[in-house]
Amino acid sequence: MISVVLKPQREKSLLRRHPWVFSGAIAKIHGSPQPGETVDIVASDGKWCGSGAFSPHSQITVRIWTFDRDEEVSPSLFRSRLQRAVKSRLHLLEKYATNACRLVNSESDFLPGLIVDQYSDFLVCQFLSAGAEYWKQTIVGQLSALIPNKGIYERSDVNAREKEGLPEHTGLLCGQEPPELVEIREGLNRFLVDIRYGHKTGFYLDQRDNRTIVTEYAGNSEILNCFSYTGGFAVAALKGGSAGITNIDSSADALKIGLQNIILNGLDDAKVINMEGDVFTVMRQYRDSNRRFDSIILDPPKFAASRGQLMRACRGYKDINLLAIKLLRPGGILFTFSCSGLVDKDLFQKIVADAALDAGRESQIIRWLHQATDHPTSLNFPEGSYLKGLLCRVW
């Protein structure tokens, strides 16, 4: 039997059904499992704890597929998990009047390391772990049978693959090659998505609910949209009656698609200013020139990919929030986000509070903001709540 034996008392997290086994918890390994191969996890007293995918190159050495000893890790397990995940989203597609949705959300859908996003007639997958990679062909075949689509595309070009000892990989898995841009709908809004080269799988589906909130607060305000990417928040703001919006992004290609999205939605592109450049640099220029805004949106990329980067990330979040707070007119609105899972909710609030304190401004939390409902979090996997945001009023 291929198995991983834990050190004494190290099975506690598994008894709480947390799906990770770290290398430091392992006493010994029976057999010679290959990357992605299924192993049993056994406590020091011999008690069976679960079955999972072995990853010798990662600090997370095993990711659990099942805690049920009678459940075999086989194609039928993946079929049932995929069916359950997709079925749980069907009402969301109707509720949000959308054809773009996260169908599988990795550990939180009990399929560790697997992301599946739908953009109209195309599916985009990320295989982020050795186990997901090992079962790739099975998963792709079952997705093809389960969800009508024109093509399935892979976007496994992320740093997480390196930690698993896997090379980055992108390309067509089956069906038709996707067009340069895929048009999706989100309620009354339309967006063009670059699923081959865009950020993540092409679009920030996790910000869907927050785009609606931006629309609610945009009325006749002058808005600064930082890390604007392809303008999801810009479209939402102009739909809400914004008097004008300035987008800042380092990617000229993203800004170009963002302008196309403004036009696609029949909005006035004369209200849009696009600034290609480093957000921190441009914001400092605005601060020094006494430029002010009614609302500011901060949606930066992940600043902390590992614990070793956490302190640097905290400084980055504080710096950018300090700049934003100084640029807001009294009574202004701040939408500020962090997608760094290592920066938890309490720490993020403290960072923003410290920034307001250093800026000499009073601020109130109007509401907390979260990832969209098609990005659920397993109760036993709090790390799945990676996106957190604050809607604040600054005086």
Q: Tell me the one-letter amino acid at 35.
A: P
Which one from 49, 226, 339, 392 is the annotated catalytic residue?
339
Q: Tokens 């849009």 correspond to what residue?
A: 272
Q: Which residues contact 230 (CB under 8 A, 6 or more apart)?
A: 191, 192, 193, 194, 198, 203, 254, 257, 258, 261
According to DSSP, residue 19 is labeled -
Under 8 Å CB-to-CB from 281, ≥6 apart: which residues? none
With b for 16 or more beta-carbon neighbours within 10 A and e for fewer, the 308-320 pattern comes to eebeebbebbbbb
Give the sign of the dihedral formed by CA 370, CA 306, CA 54, CA 123. positive
Tell me how far CA of residue 190 lies from CA of 103, 183, 224, 365, in angstroms: 20, 7, 21, 30
Q: Residue 238 and residue 183: Cα distance in Å, rounded? A: 19
Strands laid side by side in the 3-6 sheet: 20-22, 60-66, 48-54, 38-42, 3-6, 26-30
Per the listing, tokens 């295989």 go with: 127
**CA dist 11 → 6, 45, 105, 111, 274 (Å):** 7, 10, 25, 20, 53
Q: How far from each other are the two terminal CA atoms of the chain, in whole angstroms? A: 64
Question: Is there a catalytic annotation at residue 174?
Answer: no
Helices within the chain (DSSP H only): 12-15, 75-87, 90-95, 130-134, 136-146, 159-163, 208-217, 232-239, 252-264, 279-288, 310-327, 345-359
Q: What residue has token string 């865009």?
A: 198
Cα 285 to Cα 95: distance, rounded to the nearest angstrom: 42
The catalytic residues are 339
